[in-house]
Chain A
Amino acid sequence: MTITKKFDVLTYDQIREKLLSGELTCESIVKRYLEKIKEFERLNAFLSVFEKKAIQRAVEIDEKIKNGYVGKLAGMVIAIKDNICVKDEKCTCASKILENFVSIYNATAVERLLNEDAIVIGKTNLDEFAMGSSTENSYFGPTLNPYDEDRVPGGSSGGSAVAVAAGLSTTALGSDTGGSIRQPAAFCGVYGLKPTYGRVSRFGLVAFASSFDVIGPFGNSTKDVALVLQVIAGRDENDSTSADVPVPDYLSYLDKDVKGLRVGVPVEYFAEGLDDEIREAIEKRLDFLRESGAILEKISLPHTEYNIPTYYILVTAEASSNLARYDGARYGYRSPQAKSLYEMYVKSRSEGFGAEVKRRIMLGTYVLSAGYYEAYYRKAQKVRRLIKEDFDKAFEKVDVIITPTSPTTAFKLGEKTDDPLKMYLSDIYTVSVNLAGVPAINVPAGFDSKGLPIGMQIIGKQFDEGTILKVSDFLEKNFSG
């Protein structure tokens, strides 16, 4: 019998009803979360907590509720990954180089949440500049997994995943470049959605790899994730890569059955290297979907083995270019040692960035440098097309693709820090989704014999978040096993 820790969590549904009936106030909810944050301080999920501001805002929203007007997310307490800008608050990216940087505007996603009366409670820990899979690469120390504090929460959005899992906030925003929402969601047993590339504005998200990055929500239910996506999705004139595609009513996809749904199961994602307990948990859910009227089909994504090398060439190249802006001139850390302009650049960057960030800037600079551009960068762009075409072909036959989110459950702190390649391979099932720009969600899929959460990934067609939310919601409400 598996013993799993239980955390005291509330979904927004439960809160909203009590708020509108007057049984609860936003102020009492915020105070409750602030207490929880203190109680779980050792997990290091938050880099900053907006105690005063959050209470003040709660009081204002309570007033609005009394006056009969409420936004869609009134009283939803949300934590924001610390690479997403919240006006007049620090945005450190868990880096020494931005330790004292204060945002002068809100990210569009944050602005839209605030417009619907959500309450931002604080900023969460991450791998420096979102580069990592364990939240160990933080200048402010690692975040711990609430299910086993000797283990990592996954990454890079580890703080956001932990905040939601341990009940320190109702929902959270993260960012996903190669799995940074889904993998920590899997390791912490929560829902985490990576939207289609361009579905959510990147304005105010600190750039890592611009053709991959996307902001997305964490929640303790599919509905919470859908509610947040509803508000943050859509075209934004401040982000020219945000898509001008209509945003459907995501709630209309919930409480539906899966009769006739075509589910693709890619053989490459169930091959060697996958933990047996995870395989079993996913297969049980696949069987349940079949029994519920879905049509399962074995498919192939033949370029799967090239995902990781392609991904690491392209993201490091984009990162080396994006991170060139940290030069010590206009904002961020400047080395006190620097006597010339050249030294200001070199010393500020070398003292300000951590090891993994430097490693990626170096790799990216290398693959873009004269003589290697064709062999590495251009080659990887070509393979990216082949990988995307694999998905295009698969989605001609199926509506969703189901895979494990990660080959293992949460690993031990320090287990992979000395071996970057080993760490990179923990993203093996998630990076393809970013390479193809499609949406995917992590759905909690029970626990292994160590009591650690297992995650299942549902991948959809571009801009079809609705269908993956439908499947996630169906399993959440109907599967028990």
Chain B
Amino acid sequence: MPVTIKDVEYIANLARLEFKEEEKEKFTEQFNRILEYIDKLNELDTTDVEPLYHVIDLKNVFREDIVKESYPREEILKNAPSRTEFFFKVPKVIQVEKPQKENEDKEQS
């Protein structure tokens, strides 16, 4: 079933992106063409195939729990768009926001 502008808006919110109306339309159309192409995978029966997560043999890596020097705070803060002396500064976090419930409850159909 094709993706609609409403779906594009829903995904955009999940990805924390926003688009202009005409972008949404163009996007929906491109999205559908790409998905149609991707649907080709359904030709394959993969019932008994294990998913492949990594192409080389990877093992979990542990290290000794030794305290080491990290990057200096001043270096880390150098790229901050906004900062105080010791911290990153962001817009006020505690505020009354519209509940996001609408999106979470949205049915996928």
Residues of A at the B interface (CB closer than 8 Å) are 100-102, 104-105, 196-198, 211, 237, 240-241, 243, 303, 305-306, 308-310, 312-313, 320, 324, 327-334, 338-347, 349-350, 353, 358-359, 361-363, 365-366, 369-372, 376, 378-386, 388, 420-421, 424, 435-437, 462
Q: Does B67 contact A (CB under 8 A)?
A: no
Q: Does B53 contact A (CB under 8 A)?
A: yes
Contact yes or no, A102 B79, CB < 8 A: yes
| CB-defined contacts of B15 to chain A, threshold 8 Å | 320, 349, 361-362, 365
**9 residue pairs bridging A and B, Cβ less than 8 Å apart:** A308-B37, A324-B16, A329-B81, A329-B88, A340-B95, A347-B18, A366-B7, A369-B108, A384-B51
| CB-defined contacts of A308 to chain B, threshold 8 Å | 37
B1-32 Cβ-contact flags toward A at 8 Å (1 or 0)? 00100011001101111110000000100110
Contact yes or no, B91 A338, CB < 8 A: yes
Question: Which of B15, B30, B81, B108 gathers the greatest number of chain A CB atoms within 10 Å?
Answer: B15
Residues of B at the A interface (CB closer than 8 Å) are 3, 7-8, 11-12, 14-19, 27, 30-31, 33-34, 37-42, 44, 46, 49-56, 58, 61, 63, 71, 75-76, 78-82, 88, 90-93, 95, 97, 108
Contact yes or no, B81 A306, CB < 8 A: no
Contact yes or no, A309 B90, CB < 8 A: no
Minimal beta-carbon separation of B91 from chain A (angstroms): 5
**Cα–Cα distance between A350 and B17 once the two chains are bound (Å):** 5
| CB-defined contacts of A435 to chain B, threshold 8 Å | 55
**Cα–Cα distance between A312 and B81 once the two chains are bound (Å):** 33
Contact yes or no, B78 A104, CB < 8 A: yes
Contact yes or no, A334 B82, CB < 8 A: yes
Minimal beta-carbon separation of A231 from chain B (angstroms): 21
| CB-defined contacts of A384 to chain B, threshold 8 Å | 51-52
Please tell me which one of the listed residues B8, B17, B27, B40 contacts residue A346 in the complex, with CB atoms under 8 A apart: B17
Please tell me which one of the listed residues A241, A312, A353, A385 contacts residue B50 in the complex, with CB atoms under 8 A apart: A385
Contact yes or no, B88 A330, CB < 8 A: yes
Contact yes or no, A341 B81, CB < 8 A: no
Contact yes or no, B8 A362, CB < 8 A: yes
Given A237-B63, A240-B61, A350-B18, A339–B91 Cβ distance below 8 Å? yes
Contact yes or no, A198 B56, CB < 8 A: yes
Contact yes or no, A437 B55, CB < 8 A: yes
Given A309-B41, A359-B27, A382-B51, A330–B17 Cβ distance below 8 Å? no
Contact yes or no, B81 A380, CB < 8 A: no
Please tell me which one of the listed residues B18, B51, B75, B80 contacts residue A378 in the complex, with CB atoms under 8 A apart: B51
Contact yes or no, A305 B90, CB < 8 A: no
Given A331-B79, A342-B97, A197–B34 Cβ distance below 8 Å? no
Given A237-B63, A334-B82, A381-B53, A305–B40 Cβ distance below 8 Å? yes
4 extra interchain contacts, Cβ-Cβ under 8 A, other than A327-B16, A346-B18, A421-B34?
A: A240-B61, A329-B81, A346-B17, A362-B12
**Cα–Cα distance between A366 and B108 once the two chains are bound (Å):** 12
Cβ-closest chain A residue relative to B52: A385
| CB-defined contacts of B63 to chain A, threshold 8 Å | 237
Given A197-B55, A382-B49, A312–B38 Cβ distance below 8 Å? yes
Contact yes or no, A349 B17, CB < 8 A: yes
| CB-defined contacts of A366 to chain B, threshold 8 Å | 3, 7, 11, 31
Contact yes or no, B52 A340, CB < 8 A: no
Contact yes or no, B41 A346, CB < 8 A: no
Minimal beta-carbon separation of A456 from chain B (angstroms): 24
Given A102-B79, A243-B56, A345-B16, A363–B41 Cβ distance below 8 Å? no
Question: Which of B30, B53, B78, B81 gathers the greatest number of chain A CB atoms within 10 Å?
Answer: B81
| CB-defined contacts of B17 to chain A, threshold 8 Å | 346, 349-350, 353, 358, 361-362
**Cα–Cα distance between A361 and B78 once the two chains are bound (Å):** 27
